[in-house]
């Protein structure tokens, strides 16, 4: 990113008054202050093995690690992976087609930053398994993540606080439930500019205190966005989203809201005609009332946060361009996006990974960037930025921007 120093300078002064630093330039929502492994160690993933030295599993087993990838391809895991707290997973460092973690669940812990990764389950996971789990934690941001092939839900978040999902793709749930996401009583959750596609229901199930902004929901099955519908009070700010019916979609783009769901809704649209043209209509407050939600005239969370709200039409364009591990999209993500851009004419809620065509083979590519001191920052970048390629300590030095030199390098690999 050519203007990374300017962005870092702006971020520093924008948030200095609050004594908090953004996870990276462009981080928004309640999880935006996760610091990850800032000031910690670097661990380089050098192979695609399920375990052992140089593996992803080993990399995330200890806290305060920035995980960098010197290899690209598919990491097939047989057992669940539990990620330690205070972790930064920099998927944008992987060469070639990037990294896919495939086969079982990955669960995250507090104060973590995860960017540009694909996480996929499999038909061999336990019946009740979810692909990504973010339970009982505080401060997590998932940025440009693809999450697919969960047997119960693709994503599960329970009893957590200060979580952001931004520019993510949550799609292709598989049997027995084929659901998008279950949010069980998390507080202060932001979901913005995400794609929810080809899930039978729960896009997500918002049993939560949540702001749900500028998302695209495509080809839901039984139901689209689902309320909490429980005895406990839930608060959902729902703004600028686009619901687009596909071949499998019922009329229930909203479902299961009850009086305990306190909803503020603004500028949401739905396109039900499946004619290949984005030509939806405004969703009315009466449609939420029909679902028995308690309507609010003012938002609960939006006024206390920084998420920039655009129109549903603009959200569609941004989601198509950015959602998921979009630096190098693979065949699965491109298939799903192809369905969405058909605007109603194509799409399929699958039963199994086999039905989806299986996890595609990815050519293993290794980085050729020279890094003499092993600090995660290539020598050429260090030299051009007046650092010492023989001094591993300078990567973790935090400058006036509030970011370490390592973070500035990592942020320079992506455009926001």
What is the C-alpha to C-alpha distance for residues 388 and 395, in angstroms, rounded to an integer?
9
Q: Which of 331, 54, 340, 67 is nearest to 194 (CA)?
A: 340
SS3 label, residue 291: coil
Which residues are the active-site residues?
202
What is the C-alpha to C-alpha distance for residues 161 and 397, in angstroms, rounded to an integer?
29
* 195 DSSP β-pair partners: 169, 216
Structure tokens at 91: 């998927």
What is the C-alpha to C-alpha distance for residues 353 and 123, in angstroms, rounded to an integer?
6
What is the C-alpha to C-alpha distance for residues 77 and 211, in angstroms, rounded to an integer?
33
Cβ neighbours of residue 324 under 8 Å, at least 6 residues apart? 118, 144, 145, 146, 167, 168, 169, 195, 333
Token pair 């407050």: residue? 285
Residue positions counted in the chain: 416
Q: What is the DSSP string of 261-276?
A: EEEEEES-EEE-S-SS
The CA–CA distances, whole Å, from 376 to 45, 245, 294 equal: 11, 44, 51
CA 174 from chain center: how many Å? 19
Q: What is the DSSP string of 336-369?
A: HHHHHHTTTS-----S-TTTTT-PPP---EE---
Structural contact between residues 403 and 411, judged by C-beta atoms closer than 8 angstroms = yes
Cβ neighbours of residue 192 under 8 Å, at least 6 residues apart? 28, 29, 164, 165, 166, 211, 212, 213, 214, 215, 307
SS3 label, residue 52: coil
Round to the nearest angstrom and report the end-to-end CA distance of the chain. Answer: 9
Phi first, then psi: give them for residue 114, nearest 5 degrees.
-130, 125
**Count of CA atoms in the C-beta half-sphere (13 A) of 411:** 25
When computed from its CA atoms, the radius of gyration of the chain, rounded to whole angstroms, is 21
């Amino acid at each position: 990113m050519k203007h990374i120093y300017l962005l870092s300078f702006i971020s520093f002064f924008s948030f200095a008054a609050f004594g908090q630093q953004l996870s990276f330039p462009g981080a928004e929502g309640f999880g935006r202050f996760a610091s990850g492994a800032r000031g910690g160690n670097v661990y380089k993933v050098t192979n695609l093995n399920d375990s052992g030295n140089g593996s992803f599993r080993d990399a995330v087993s200890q806290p305060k690690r920035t995980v960098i990838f010197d290899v690209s391809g598919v990491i097939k895991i047989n057992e669940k992976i539990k990620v330690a707290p205070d972790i930064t997973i920099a998927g944008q460092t992987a060469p070639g087609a990037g990294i896919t973690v495939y086969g079982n669940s990955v669960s995250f812990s507090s104060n973590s930053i995860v960017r540009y990764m694909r996480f996929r389950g499999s038909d061999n996971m336990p019946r009740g398994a979810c692909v990504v789990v973010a339970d009982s934690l505080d401060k997590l941001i998932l940025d440009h993540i693809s999450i697919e092939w969960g047997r119960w839900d693709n994503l599960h978040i329970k009893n957590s606080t200060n979580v952001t999902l931004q520019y993510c793709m949550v799609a292709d749930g598989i049997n027995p439930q084929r659901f998008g996401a279950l949010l069980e009583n998390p507080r202060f959750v932001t979901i913005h500019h995400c794609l929810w596609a080809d899930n039978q229901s729960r896009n997500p199930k918002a049993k939560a205190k949540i702001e749900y902004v500028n998302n695209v929901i495509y080809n839901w099955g039984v139901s689209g966005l689902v309320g909490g519908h429980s005895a406990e009070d839930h608060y959902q700010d729902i703004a600028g989203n686009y619901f687009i019916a596909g071949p499998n979609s019922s009329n229930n783009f909203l479902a299961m809201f009850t009086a305990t769901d306190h909803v503020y809704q603004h500028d949401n649209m739905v396109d039900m005609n499946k004619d290949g043209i984005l030509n939806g209509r405004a969703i009315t407050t009466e449609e939420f009332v029909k679902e028995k939600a308690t309507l609010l005239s003012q938002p609960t969370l939006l006024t206390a946060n920084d998420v920039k709200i655009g129109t549903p039409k603009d959200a569609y364009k941004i989601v198509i361009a950015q959602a998921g591990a979009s630096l190098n999209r693979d065949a699965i993500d491109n298939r799903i996006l192809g369905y969405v851009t058909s605007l109603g004419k194509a799409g399929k809620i699958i039963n199994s990974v086999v039905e989806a065509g299986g996890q595609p083979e990815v050519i293993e590519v290794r980085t050729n960037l020279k890094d003499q001191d092993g600090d995660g920052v290539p020598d050429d970048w260090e030299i051009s930025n007046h650092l010492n390629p023989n001094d591993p300590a300078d990567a973790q030095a935090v400058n006036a921007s509030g970011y370490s030199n390592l973070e500035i390098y990592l942020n320079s690999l992506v455009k926001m």
